[in-house]
Structure 1
């Protein structure tokens, strides 16, 4: 199916649901808080942002998934840069497979001790947290190969379990990095392997952390119903007794609840999202502070993270005033975070993008640029991979009446926006 046919299918889906609802294009635009011209563009085969489809689905009273086209993808025209940059990671994750297991190359080093590989994983994760993606990409192939060699070298049950746990940690980091840079197929492979290794090793918490990562990947791919189902089933299976559970168990359960809420909200299932947010709030209250532990699991969760994700819901429904009202209040204020602790850098940066989008929606381009420039200073590589940052910057450029400032030109160039 051609891209034109795929756009036509999406247009038909929107038009059919609009007619079933008894809406004119103008009435749908009013209910969705978009312009009539945008509705006409979608129904004429234009390609809308996913945020536009959220708004249309909410107005029509259907799930967002019901509007998505299901045709063939557009041809890939230029994947050269990423294909070449990630070649070593691809080789480490997916070596050629023949009739026999691969034979170690002559002179290959003996397996590294588990603690050595763990230290290398921790070092690479620290680089990831500080936005040094190139350094992470260079380290991951060696870490992955060392973890693979460790598993292959150990036959004893206890030694193999330890090696599997280390390989699960290596795959978790690899999947997390690949999701961030939007290499979703490779990320799926790494995360699914991490979950399987952790299950075989008997480490449920690590496996559940892999599910948190895989749910994030499904969200990134707009697979909302699958994300909600996976995260919800896992949360139900490992729901802790809050009064006696270890902080790590509560944190991972809370993160899974956040994934359920995010998926349900994007799929226009507000009641499910509300209940999942309530569960996440219960977990956050039980912890009292942000809990971080990249030794036994890979998550940062607590009251600050839960509140940021609740504010994200306001951004999704277009409540710009609500976003700004809560974005620096209560637990998200400087005083609040001093008491509750800091969230992960990625979650905080995503929250500030929601703030930037709210400013753009209200026409406050100066304030939006203030947020984008702050992100460029603190997380320059991260922000380059964020579609929301490009949307915000594109809106600033579109509505700018005067000559662009130096900051605007530099930001547009940094995000790869032309025209």
Structure 2
């Protein structure tokens, strides 16, 4: 991948007439970083995004297909995920997949347990979620396969869809993307086939998030745009769930477009999301009708994320605790979901590091560790921030810095 990436960067640099020194100046990156890339080194996606802006191309234009690097140190995850793999991806023979074994579960009990597992997910209780999901997936499959009567069949199919969606969201969060894709694709298929349009839309929001996590910006933008246009609600009669899912889809469009150096598309998508959030009036997160979190606060945080992506650290800090994101507004508009808030505070931490304020960056990381430690350890941005602290710190590291580096698995 690295050599093909180097060729792409070199090709576009020469097409603009830039020297390596000029590209470094235009992008704000060091000449050492430019040379590293063109000599075959690998870099973060956000660095490629910065290069793409300077070169006037889409970020995805710099990506290249090549053999992946060897996977090292994944043995533990393979063992941890054995039961989830069995539940989601059974062996397939000549006739059909090997059917899940077991007895149907009482539907009220099954829905209640799925809701409890959903609560554990939002509380960052990832160990508990990992233990409960295999059983829920198997039981929902058996129950749906054996349901009798239209009402029970619909209820069982809904439970099956919800268990798959929950698995897809959890697996995306912990970056097990192949399993997550399988879960979300199956949930969307089942929701479509059973007329659960809003639930299918929720699944597509999750699918766009997964594609975004995999740097598949073009596909994420196209899927979110297509779905948002198909699900556009009538504002005068739309339910809160419809507005929230539609708004989240436009947030996915914006996030994909901004990362792919398509700022005009991002601005229009943010405007559409703002329309949905204004119609809602406050934050909305109501399982099982709407699985994510959306509203004026979330929309403002994602706009701030755009500022972080273009490297405007001063603007990030100006908007971080002001207006809709100020403490008074948060009380009246409602709190965003913990993952969305955590991502916002990581943007703030990154801005502090870029401006040389290590103590403020550490305060953000420590606060997130105290409130959302399990979530924080799965965030590459947290490791990037900590790595930048280690690299730019001129004085001896404090104990707090050493402890955080150990917690995040970052070593200088």
TM-score band (shorter)?
over 0.9
Deviations 1:313-370 (A, max 9, x none): 0000000000000000011011010010000000000000000000001011110000
Bigger Cα displacement from structure 2, 222-231 vs 164-173: 164-173
Of 91-100 and 143-152, the range deviating more from structure 2: 91-100
Tell me whether 397-406 or 251-260 shows the greater mean CA deviation.
397-406
Structure 2 counterpart of 1:377: 370
C-alpha distance in 1 between matches for 2:343 and 2:91:
38
Aligned mate of 2:28, from 14, 33, 45: 33
For residues 132-181 of structure 1, give each alpha carbon's deviation from its aligned partner in whole angstroms, at most 9, with x where no partner exists.
11011000001101110111102544432322111110011100000011
Contact (CA 8 Å) 1:114, 1:162: kept in 2 or not? yes
1:176 to 156, 169, 172: 169
CA distance in 2, matches of 1:354, 1:103: 45
Partner of 2:11: 16
Aligned-pair CA distance for 1:83: 0.6
* Aligned match for 1:229, one of 196, 214, 222: 222
What SS is found at the alignment partner of 1:291?
Answer: coil
Residues 181-221 of structure 1: per-residue CA shift (max 9 Å, x gap): 10000000000111011111101000000000000000000
Paired residues in the alignment total: 411
- Quick one: distance in 2 between partners of 1:323 and 1:215? 25
- The answer for the alignment partner of 1:359 in structure 2 is 352
Q: Is 1:253–2:227 an aligned residue pair?
A: no
How far residue 78 of structure 1 moved from its aligned partner, in angstroms, is 2.7
The alignment's C-alpha RMSD in Å is 1.2
Task: Tell me the residue number matched to 2:408.
Answer: 415
Q: In the TM superposition, what is the alpha-carbon distance from 1:102 to its structure 2 partner?
A: 3.8
Structure 2 residue aligned with 1:329: 322
Verify the 8 A CA contact 1:63 1:269 in the aligned structure 2.
yes
**Residue of structure 1 equivalent to 2:337:** 344
Give unpaired runs (5+ residues) of structure 2: none
When normalised by structure 2's length, the TM-score is 0.98
| 2:117 is the alignment partner of 1:117 | no
Corresponding residue for residue 135 of structure 2: 142
**Structure 1 residue ranges without an equivalent (≥5):** 1-5
Selected match of 1:50 from 18, 23, 45: 45
Check if 1:91 corresponds to 2:81: no
Alignment check: 8 A CA contact 2:52 2:62 kept: yes
Residue in 2 that maps onto 1:3: none
Deviation, 1:295, is 1.7
Q: Does 1:399 align with 2:358?
A: no
Counterpart-to-counterpart distance in 2, 1:353 and 1:299 = 19
Aligned pairs (5 A) from 1:204-353: 204-353=197-346
Instruction: Quote the Cα distance in structure 1 between the aligned partners of 2:359 and 2:289.
Output: 43
TM-score, scaled to structure 1: 0.96
Q: 1:101 to 1:324 in 2, by over 3 A?
A: closer
